[in-house]
Amino acid sequence: MNKINPDQQISLIIKGIEDVKGKDISILDLREIENTICDYFIICTGTSNTQVDAIVTSIRKTVSKDLQEKPWNIEGQSNSEWVLVDYVNIIVHVFQKQIREHYDIESLWGDAKLTQIETDY
């Protein structure tokens, strides 16, 4: 089994988000923090249930097409307010705006290195 390059996987996840105009994309690098469940969180916002679903679908298709990698688990698709896509070392959180603000994951993981992705749409 080939070891997947995390930088390549992150780039593909970001591409999947951008392809359907996901907003406010952040990468939290958790590698320097002890006892974390993964190496990275990628967080983004969708404007509606439909867009959240579209973002998740786009991420899955983009990563699967280029890396033949499927998520280990997906949670939250029943209401599409907060969908978690688990690629084991990278966990993607796709939120609707009000849910993202409520849980404020970036503040909870304030010790993580934060990278904001600039989008041009």
* Element containing residue 97 per DSSP (H, E): helix 97-103
Residue-averaged pLDDT of the chain = 95
Give yes or no for residue 74 having a pLDDT over 60: yes
Q: 24, 35, 31: which is closest to 90 by C-alpha?
A: 31
- DSSP element (H, E) containing 50: helix 49-67
* pLDDT digit string, tens, across residues 21-67: 999 999 999 999 999 999 999 999 999 999 999 999 999 999 999 99
| Confidence bin at 120 (pLDDT 50/70/90) | confident
Answer for the pair 83, 75: CB distance below 8 angstroms, yes or no.
yes
* CATH, range 6-116: 3.30.460.10
d(CA 1, CA 92): 23
The reported pTM is 0.95
What's CA 48's distance to the chain center, in Å? Answer: 16
State the pLDDT confidence band at 4, using cuts at 50, 70 and 90: confident
**Distant-in-sequence contacts of 33-37, Cβ < 8 A, 24+ apart:** 33/109, 33/111, 33/112, 37/91
